[in-house]
Structure 1
């Protein structure tokens, strides 16, 4: 028997797996809306998929279940919501102008995301004890691309506006390469194991962040995610030159 995962329990697993299914459904809806030209809604749906993805992990810990089935289902859902959906979104919002070049560039988000998930699946041991991620997590990559599109796409011109459009290609290349890199990214703050004081601090930060996002029409959220992406590179560079393996 594999001791790395608890025995699969359908009655317990149905709770987190339901949120995983909603994750996949949100990704599919994103593709549908993007194909109909509703780019903004498609981008929002990828963000919603990210929320479901975070909740399913929390639910798995709360009900005390983790299984190979859950890992595989989560990855299959992720490849839809955070691989195919953002790839199609960025293609429909901007890269369609570059014919086959645009198709290839868009597909990088999907292909490199698949490699990222495959590497995670063969390396994962205990999901409840995972302290950091090797390579940019695919949800972070997808949501960053989705927020970029949501913030700077113009329904009137049916493309990403200048000068932000100049950063579309570098952004896609950056997140794609980071997904298969050795750059480490920490887990997002969790309320599950923190003290009351730490929970209050995290909740206050979340509320403040949501207020800033509301006041800036969502643009600030893109810069927050971009800052996290870039900070990972900065931290990796500092540790590399300091000779630390942590």
Structure 2
């Protein structure tokens, strides 16, 4: 019976992802994005509940990945397409599909590399990538030119990249000072110019930090040779 609790939270993740897709179909982009953020909260609670109740299982892990793909891969891709990518004709199709596909690849790699990758995430976690796109849509900004398609494409790539993102558990990837300062400055600047970016700024800051932290780590490795 105890195992039902985390699985229900995982299922709630999927339900919220479906609510997001339905909201997108209804043209309610703000709530569609909000449902994706809410799904991330449910996704964070299911693992904690499983560990607290000591009922972790392979079934729960597989269910979690399937639900994550819907809520943070497919739902943000559909939202991004309906919000602005549709204006880019067939390229909009390709970029939306690429985001969902990269999300699936990210989850598959995570599932098979849990014994090899410890202390950090290889590639941007799919909940963070999905929430970057969703919270950007919440701002209601429709930039001219190719900025939005490029933004979605970059975060699709970051999911399948080898960029190391810290899991903040005190082990694994070193958190470097300069990348931290730069990323925090970017996040603060975003919130300074957009006081409604309170959700977008943290996700964007985390994505930028991991990229900068990895690049600085590469330079450190070269200088120590």
Q: What is the TM-score with the length of structure 2 in the denominator?
A: 0.83
**Residue-pair matches, total:** 202
Contact 1:136 1:180 in 2 (8 A): yes
Shift of 1:220: 2.9
CA distance in 2, matches of 1:131, 1:117: 17
Which of 126, 148, 151 lines up with 1:168 in the alignment?
148
1:149 aligns with 2:137: yes
Where do 1:1-246 residues align within 5 Å? Answer: 11-125=1-115, 130-153=118-141, 160=142, 162=143, 166-187=146-167, 216-217=195-196, 219-243=197-221
CA deviations on 1:141-164 (whole Å, 9 max, x unpaired) are 0000000011124xxxxxx2x35x
Shift of 1:187: 1.9
CA distance in 1, matches of 2:40, 2:70: 12
CA distance in 1, matches of 2:126, 2:206: 13
Contact 2:17 2:72 in 1 (8 A): yes
CA distance in 1, matches of 2:208, 2:63: 29
Contact 2:92 2:149 in 1 (8 A): no
Shift of 1:49: 0.3
Unaligned residue ranges in structure 1 (runs of 5+):
1-10, 154-159, 191-208
Contact 1:136 1:178 in 2 (8 A): yes
Unaligned residue ranges in structure 2 (runs of 5+):
171-187
CA deviations on 1:168-198 (whole Å, 9 max, x unpaired) are 12211111111111111122579xxxxxxxx
The SS at the match of 1:12 is coil
The SS at the match of 1:140 is helix
Moved more, 179-188 or 12-21: 179-188
Q: What is the TM-score with the length of structure 1 in the denominator?
A: 0.76
Question: What is aligned with 2:176?
Answer: none
Shift of 1:166: 4.6
